[in-house]
Amino acid sequence: MRLRKKSLATSVSALLAAALMLSACAGGTKTANPSPDTGDKGSSTPTEAVSDKYVLGEQPLDFSFYGHYDWYTMPTWGEDAATKWIKENKKVDVKAINSQGNAQQKFNTMIASGELPDVIWMDRNSDVEKLRENDMLVPYDDYLDKYPNLKEWLGEAGINMLRSPDGKLYQFPNWYTSQPNGNAGYVVNSKIYKELGEPKLETTDDLTKYLEAVKAKYGNTVVPFEPGIEGQGIDILYSAFKEDALTRWVSIRGVPNGDKLTSIFTDPTYRESMQYAAKLFRDKLISQDALTQTADQIKEKVMTGRVAVYAASSPTENAMNAHAELVKKDPDAGYFMIWPIHKEGLDKNKIFPGTYTQLGWNVSVITKAAKDPEAIFAFLDWYTGPEGQTLLMWGPEGGYWDGYEEDGITPKFTEKYVTDAAGLGKLQADTTNLQWNGNTVFIDTAKAKYESTLPEEERNWSTRWQYEVTWKTQANATEFITLDPAPESEEGIIRQRVEDIYTEARAKALFAKDDAEVLAVLDKAEADAQAAGYEKLLAYKTTKWQANLAQMNGQ
Amino acid sequence: MVRLGFGDRFMMIMIYIFLAFLAFVTFYPFWNALVVSFNSGADTSLGGVTFWPRDFTLENYEIVFQDKRLLNGFGISVARTIVGTITSILVTSVFAYGMTKRELMGRKYYMIMCIVTMYFGGGLIPSFMLIRGLGLMDSFWVFIIPGLVSVWNMIIFRTFFAGLPNGLEESAKIDGAGNWGIFFKIILPLSGPVIATLSLFTAISHWNEWFLPSIYINKEDLLPIQTILRQILNSNIMSEQMSNLDSASQAALSRMQSVTTKSLSMATMIVATVPIIMVYPFVQKHFVKGVLVGSLKE
Amino acid sequence: MAQISVEQKAVPKRKRDNGFLRFFKQWDIQLMVLPALALIFVFSYIPMYGILMAFQDFNIFKGMGGSPFVGMKHFQMFFESPEFMNVMRNTIVISLLKFAIGFPAPILLALMLNEVRHMFFKRLVQTVSYLPHFLSWVIVSGFVVSLLSTDNGSVNILMEKMNLIKEPINFLSLPEYFWGILVTTGVWKEIGFSSIVYLAAVAGVDPHMYEAADMDGASKFRQIFTITLPSIMPVVIIFMILAIGNLLTAGFEDILLLAKNPVLRGVSDVIDTYVYRIGIENSRFSYATAVGLFKAVISVMLLTIANVIARRSGNSLW
């Protein structure tokens, strides 16, 4: 005991010494932390430059770019054909600041030190709002009319949706669209389907029978229903049990009921779909590794044709590669997509296994650290326009395309586009990771115009099923974006609890022994969530949702 | 040689069987990684590649060695490992020797001061501000200076030094040698095994360390190889982190998914780890029994 | 840095001759430790003001100066959170299991290797067994997941062939298997690497002692307990004290990657995974710091107790 007292005394004195040093040190760091000053300098530039339009390529433009994701590493600018062209012809150079797999902490240190990159590419979430509140972002409003692409392709309504509470626009969207997009759905193994006599595969009952038949015939060698990573296919099944039900509701943990969002745990559709999924799982018709498997394992199963039905939010990448591989050996093998499964009695045209939002996936923000934000905006706007998009997707003119169709923006594809598929694939593999402001409508339209001229068998597998199935069956969920509260707010703390409860309940329900247990698990989750303050969280999300609706209706 | 009794012989057989088993189970994953790295990426995705490459290719290694960043990272790793290990072992062993001295005033408090740092830290942001204030951002020395003293290594050094026979030290003192002289002339030469061990540990942790560069280094040409390896491994697991996106966004994300195949990741992993693994066999000769006694007799 | 030396030299015993003088008399050994202590002070103690975040509602935009103090709020939130009991239980059980199995295992390996007379075999096992240390947890977990998979996983196939089971066992989704899998994987990954330091200790044993024991007719088995083990005891004890101080660190990456199925949360959620999920992922700095501080205080208490007990054996940290 004597010892502990003494050691405590030393640690305290050491701490005191540290605190003394700290006060000395803090004085030093403060001077090196002039974030408000640099902010002022940055914002004064655009007002001076309002009169004249920035022309890309006249002056060199350098800026730094940070992709706020663990997995993202920006390819070196100027190494591929497309950005090399930009570097040479438009004099634009982009310096990467990479997260090195440590995005959150990197981001925190950048804020704490006030040393922000010029552009941050990030999710459209509360972090954007925090940056804005603390006066770290540059609004785009002054530039919108001078550089017309964003306004033209995203549209006024989309821009309004992206506006921050102060009424200004700070975010440049990526893969925004005005038409349905996305790949969620069900992929079916052609060979197994043929061997089982091509039965009707439309309703949930058909699906159960089909999966049972697969299990009976192939035993353990084939996985009847493969739900992809983290059991995505189970959420897809949710859409089968109600007309116009959105899988998005599951991921926001709230189901619209009139003008309110209500609990997911008590939603009859969710309960029914979980009972259905749990039964399939219990009968070993769903991959038993559904919640533990790695992406490699799934790829392997699909590639070797060992799954009968594969449902996921984006199964096309795997299925397309596997299809090409399997067809090589056996023309009857491969995969095709079916119209989404529905419960008997529902209208199959009102079943939506996937969603899209007009605003797309994520955004680029320009920070006040940027020396010439207008120039950066001018570049981003050019990048998202037909010229930039064509360059990124199909390289510089004279390779895979030459000249334009009569509309003046759609590239005319050359012979090489068809004959050198490998080369084009390589180019796109290099440039997709530089696609920060994807313009879905432009790219899809250009592709569609071309593909429609090709005979069916020459069409790209995924493009084909996108036209035939997935784009017709993805619903618009724009009204449900950015409903989440800031993490350290009261609602944010509740949200974290509810997320934990949900994640565990979903897994437990799937592993339940019988239908009654599924309901018991969900009831328990409901009780726990309510105790944690779920009602308050739903009220918060409802308000945000209603605000979105009002904004969309132009109020 | 003394003849072994029955019990001893039985024990020896069990030991050999166990060690052989251990060698097998610890070797297999590494072997498999090696095999996969020599297998073509497309074929690997079909699964079932175990003991031998099915579709042998050097392609993955060609890609790895064409990557200039990786080669540069390799150089940085070698440099920081060598410089970091030598300096840290030197500073820490001198420190530890001083701490073995019973007459050292404040010894107990110094020790407590050290131990506190093993459990209490101010977190990333204050450390970041400090490193930045010291001008170590984007500097090679950020790998070296903060890690010069390792409390953990100091404790191990101290334990080993304390176990050395006192006799030589005493006689050297009578001959008029100072503490520094005794340390360099007597203690260090006697400490082969512990120096070898801790140098190995320090070298390995320097080689494997990726956190410091991920926060403090923005210059591409200062990134060590582990950070680059992590970038590659990370880009492959991103598809597992996207469950809350709408399907259109997921589609966009999958398009961005790295083209890195498992085979290529494994080739990168092999290139990034084999050099450091090779250090151990060279260190093992310092573990030979009797090193200590041999030098004592001289 | 002058500050600290002045402070420290004032502390020790005041009896016998003047402390000031004694300090300067032993300048050579003080010079061995003071530069290192100065480094520790700069890189470990100066940033320690960050601990105060635990008592604030830290806002990264405002910095520590601009964030309000909220007292024990975050500690209270942690203690009162519904997960607290479960997280504490898992942390303690998992780390005790890891301690009970993972601590002696490398010592045992070192002792075994010490008995091997074939130098080539010995070095081979030594080198090979330390390989898994170099595989990242991402790669290791990938192996474990595919090994234990219900679909073509080697373990299930083997057990089916041996007629031990009829249906594949879903190892990574059943709570009763998780601790076993976690501990086994951990031991497998680190046993070779951790044994190195004991091998170094064994190398320091005087061979004459074995020769003498052989003369006396002591069996090899007996010699392990009468010579080898006592000789490496100081190292073993020091490592044991340090391991006890780390008992609240049950693991992080291994658990995160092996317990992917949320069904396992009841047995897998430990302090570090919990803090990661709540604190780091959501940037709730103050909360994460508070939990970290709680952990550190308990750890130092454990360490102190272990040290006091170990002192009876004549080996201790201070």
In contact, C203 and B286? CB cutoff 8 Å:
yes
Across the interface, whether the CB atoms of C11 and B106 are under 8 A apart is answered: yes
Q: How many domains does chain B have?
A: 1
Contact: A362, B113; criterion CB under 8 Å? no
Q: At CA A109, angle to CA A106 and CA A113, rounded to 5?
A: 145
Predicted pLDDT at A45:
42
Helix, coil or strand: residue A354:
strand
H or E element at residue A546 = helix A534-552
| Mean pLDDT of the region A223-229 | 94
Q: What residues contact C215, with CB distance under 8 A and at least 6 apart?
A: none
- Residues in C touching B277 (Cβ below 8 Å): 127, 131, 134
The verdict on a CB contact (< 8 Å) between A7 and C304 is: yes
The average confidence (pLDDT) of chain A is: 87
Residue of higher predicted confidence among B228 and B131: B131
Region label for A404, one of left (φ > 0), alpha (ψ between -120 and 50) or beta (otherwise): beta
Mean per-residue pLDDT for A12-23?
A: 46
Q: Is the pLDDT of residue B32 over 70?
A: yes
pLDDT at residue A225 greater than cutoff 90 = yes
Nearest to B91 among C36, C46, C133 (CB): C36
Residues A160, B166: Cα–Cα separation, whole Å: 81
| Residues B254, A314: C-beta atoms closer than 8 Å | yes
Could you say which of 3.30.500.10, 3.30.70.260, 3.40.190.10, 3.40.50.300 is the CATH number of the domain covering A8-177+362-447?
A: 3.40.190.10
The predicted structure's pLDDT at residue B42: 82
pLDDT in tens, B194-207: 899 999 999 999 99
pLDDT surpassing 50 at residue A12: no
pLDDT band at residue A310 using 50, 70 and 90 as cut-offs: very high
Backbone angles phi, psi at A289, to 5 degrees: -90, 10
**Does some domain include residue B162?**
yes
A86/C117: higher pLDDT: A86
Residue with the larger pLDDT of the pair B79 and B230: B79
Q: Do C46 and A25 touch (CB under 8 A)?
A: yes
Q: Among residues 164-193 of chain C, which lie with CB inside 8 Å of chain A?
A: 168, 170, 172-173
Angle between helices B225-237 and C137-147 (to 10 degrees): 40
Chain C CB contacts of A496 below 8 Å: 277-278, 282
CATH number at residue B121: 1.10.3720.10
Q: Which residues pair with C210 in a beta bridge?
A: none
Inter-chain CB proximity C134 and B32 less than 8 Å: no
pLDDT tens digits along B171-195: 888 888 888 988 998 888 888 888 9
**Distance between CA atoms of B26 and C125, rounded to whole angstroms?**
9
pTM for the model stands at 0.86
Residue A50 has pLDDT above 60, yes or no: no
Of C46, C192, C203, the CB nearest to B289: C203
Chain A CB within 8 Å of residue B116 CB: yes
Contacts of A108 in chain C (CB under 8 A): 60, 283, 285
Cβ contact, residue pair C263, A507, below 8 Å: yes
Question: Are A8-177+362-447 and A185-352+483-555 equal in CATH topology?
Answer: yes
Mean pLDDT over A274-292 rounds to 95
Alpha carbon A16 to its chain's center? 48
pLDDT number for residue B110: 94
Q: What is the pLDDT of residue A482?
A: 87
Q: Which CATH superfamily is domain A185-352+483-555 in?
A: Periplasmic binding protein-like II (3.40.190.10)
The chains found to touch B (3+ Cβ pairs under 8 angstroms) are A, C
CATH superfamily assigned to domain C82-312: MetI-like (1.10.3720.10)
**Any chain C CB within 8 A of the CB of A16?**
no
Q: How confident is the model at residue A51 (pLDDT cuts 50, 70, 90)?
A: low
Low-confidence spans in chain C with pLDDT less than 50: 1-14
For tokens 């304390």, what's the residue? Answer: B162
By C-alpha distance, which of A387, A532, A498, A335 is closest to A90?
A: A387
pLDDT score recorded for residue A422: 81
Q: What is the largest CA-CA distance in chain C?
A: 81
B39 in Cβ contact with B54 (< 8 Å): yes
What mean pLDDT value characterizes chain B? 86
Asked whether residue B18 is domain-assigned, the answer is: no
Is B17 buried (19+), middle (13-18) or exposed (0-12) by CB count in 10 A? exposed
Q: Where are the domains of chain A?
A: 8-177+362-447, 185-352+483-555
% chain C with pLDDT above 70: 95
pLDDT at C86: 94
Asked if pLDDT for residue A133 goes beyond 50, the answer is: yes
Question: Cα separation of C96 and A349, whole Å?
Answer: 57
- Mark yes or no for CB contact C49/A18 under 8 Å: yes
% of chain B exceeding 70 in pLDDT: 91
Residue B131 counted as domain residue: yes
Q: Where are the domains of chain C?
A: 82-312
Cβ–Cβ gap C48/B27 under 8 Å: no
Q: Tell the residue number behind the tokens 């998009």, with chain if given.
A: A389
3-state helix, strand, coil in chain A (%, to 5): 55, 15, 30
For C264, name the nearest residue in chain A, comparing CA atoms only. Answer: A504
- How far does the CA of residue C45 sit from the closest CA of chain A (Å)? 6
Q: Which of A194-208, B35-49, C8-22, C223-237 has the lowest mean pLDDT?
A: C8-22
Interface of C with A in 132-161 (CB under 8 A): 142, 145-146, 149-151
